[in-house]
Structure 1
Amino acid sequence: MASPAVDDYLKTIYQHTEWQDERMTPSQLATVLGLAPSSVTEMVQKLAAQGLVTHRPYGPVSLTDAGERRAAAVVRRHRLIETWLVQEFGYGWDEVHDEAEVLEHALSDRLLEGIDARLGRPRFDPHGDAIPDADGDVHREPFVLLRSAPTGHRGRVLRVSDRDPALLRALVDSGVDVGHAVEVLPEGAVRVDGRIAELPEGAADAVWLSA
């Protein structure tokens, strides 16, 4: 059954393990969604009863195959909409998340297919997140979180978290954007396209480079 609340839960769980391996706990889910832990526990139990997640008391939550397919479909809608807003309407990459949160529940499948075709079947959204295809498949290259990259590591910026719009704007000011070449320097600095840049606070945990 279609439900924006269910879709939001599944999408959040899906996104949690895209760029790291640890599974999501109910407390983390409550924090990200801004909900009371008791409400999250109740919903997780309902999702488990529907065969969308697996969960044991006090343990992490995992998507089942059915939950993964449904989550990938929601993520596809969200990221196609973000890409559409940037490319067709001139939105900044720091402005699209909240708009997409609303529109992902409103657009028809027919309109979404038209948007995908018009954009040329993009594989990544403006933040570098992979857009699942119509079958739910995604394509990513090996990556490393900036904080974990050793001094001297060189790679392209693959992805920047869209959780903090202010950080996105600060990274643009620093020249750190998806696709740019970065060399990791000591003491939190990087060389971006040949020039040295100081990173804003929080960047080390929000930027992923090619491995």
Structure 2
Amino acid sequence: MTPTENYSDEAITLAAIDELMALPSVELVEPTYDDLAQVIRQALDDEFGSSDWDVEGGLATGPVCSGRFQRLEGRSVSIMSRTFDRPLEGDDWTRAVDVVTGVVGPEGFTQEFVVADQPGSHQTEIFGARDSVVRMYSNTSFGVTVESGCYLRESDRSAIEQFGVPDPEHWRLLYPDSTVVPAERVS
């Protein structure tokens, strides 16, 4: 089912559950994105020389898990790598974009969008499947963020397998007339 205005909120959420259940858990895909962020950093170090990267990562909520996924408490993997020792300008910025697109293109990140490109402020986003994105920026620092699409946590997947929805009690509050979760299952 493709969610449209003709479907109820509950039907759209059920379709989103089906979509996310067809995917692995966020815990299973996290290492893939960690590895991609590492390969990007290494490729940039190979091109520009070694840098002192500050890396922050983990599971996040945010816009990628909104819309049809908003009631499911989905998560995305977000790995932010930045360095304060080399903001990039001019040809260096262009080379950095080329290096990163060369790394992420074969991984399915092919839709490039320039957000800002002026002296002292550059940002390019490269989109992949399922709302995944690689964001690059350079201003007072240089950074690259790798973010996955929306996935369910393993605990939510287990609850859905058991009850049909992530949290039956919460589901009843959201959809009091729902027939998805029998009343005797909620207590």
TM-score by length of 1: 0.21
**Greater relative contact order (Cα 8 A, min sep 6): structure 1 or 2?**
2
Structure with the higher strand share, 1 or 2: 2
Larger Rg: 2
